[in-house]
Structure 1
């Protein structure tokens, strides 16, 4: 199994999500909800379509997630006045306030990875390249992934 890149990536993703879980439980978020908030912290108010593309989530997955965040008072969804087909998502005051608590988690997660800053940056660069390569290459059947 360890010879398969897909399994190594899957294992790493599960380990990372597991490391986040107890910290996110303390602030009442799931990992996907946390990612939505981070995207809004970084980009400000965003269209649902834009959030979906950024997070690689389809509309059917993202909409219930946004509804839960809205019910918890962390985001607000509003139809755009200039085009009612478009829904914009923004942080509420509570959502902005949660950012400080969420930011406190980052140092402990960085330490848990046990990698240097340079190794983290190299890993992210390789994974970004891998993602682009896989999502843009459709002409050949996959090999050992």
Structure 2
């Protein structure tokens, strides 16, 4: 079971942006009235690089954070349609925890819309994000699904 707060701090500004993005997508997914622009602005002003619950978080790349958050949320139905075939037979996104859904949506967005970022970097970054929230079995699950997504979105 995931917690809303990460267990550990992330690496550099781009990693911190991805971590913040997953947290923002989680917040949007759990909200009754999600507004991506409001959430992006809230994170930029009050959360990215802030001290929260006694932990100082690394300053995130605000442009990367906004790009991934907006792109992942704005086209989530498209990403969900790409993610579901990568899940085990009979699994639905509703069966998956919201943090994992957020990781998949952000990763899918980057795999499709950010050809400037190497596939291995995207997968490794989101595995690192998953490590911030989960232990072993979820990490393997995230790795497996992102690998399948990469093979369908970036075939060589």
TM-score norm. by structure 2 comes to 0.29
Structure whose alpha-carbon radius of gyration is higher = 1
TM-score norm. by structure 1 comes to 0.31
Structure number with the higher strand fraction is 1
